[in-house]
Homo-oligomer: A and B are copies of this chain.
Amino acid sequence: MSDAAPTSFPVALELPVQWGEMDSYRHVNNAVYFRWFESARMEYFLRIGWDEVERRTGVGPILHSTAARFRAPLEFPDQVRISAGVGEMGEDRFTMHYRVESARLGRLAAEGSGVVVAFDYRAGTKAALPAPVRAAIAALEGRG
């Protein structure tokens, strides 16, 4: 969570809380939030067509680091909305920010972020962010 969170979160998905996602404290376990962040991230990548770019160029995303701040414990049954937006972009990376909102609580339950780095899976090295990925992010974030 090293840079400012974006003001918009253009991609979101809704999921029911599953009973088995709770742990012995009868709250959703912390590791589950990272699964949810990942699901929002993958939805975002689909939206910007990175899967297509990766098939063509071999350059895909790799997760460099990630963090979560838990604001309110969650329980089954509930419905969560996980949204994602991109903040700062560098030559070979960007920061994605996440929000988890609870329908039951009517409030923000967690925030998170992750640094995503472009990686050339064929060469096995870091790579510059592919131009179409950069452009699609800018368009989706309304920063084109």
A10 in the interface (beta carbon within 8 A) = no
Interface of A is mostly: mixed
CB distance from A23 to the nearest CB of B (A): 6
Known: A18-B35, A18-B38, A24-B23. A68 touches B70 (CB 8 A): no
A22: chain B residues at CB < 8 Å are 23-24
- How long is the Cα–Cα vector from A76 to B65 in the complex, in angstroms? 21
- How long is the Cα–Cα vector from A19 to B43 in the complex, in angstroms? 9
Q: Which of A63-115 contact B (CB under 8 A)?
A: 63-70, 73, 76-77
A9 in the interface (beta carbon within 8 A) = no
- How long is the Cα–Cα vector from A35 to B65 in the complex, in angstroms? 16
A residues contacting B by CB (< 8 A) are 13, 15-16, 18-20, 22-24, 26, 29-32, 34-35, 38-39, 42, 46, 62-70, 73, 76-77
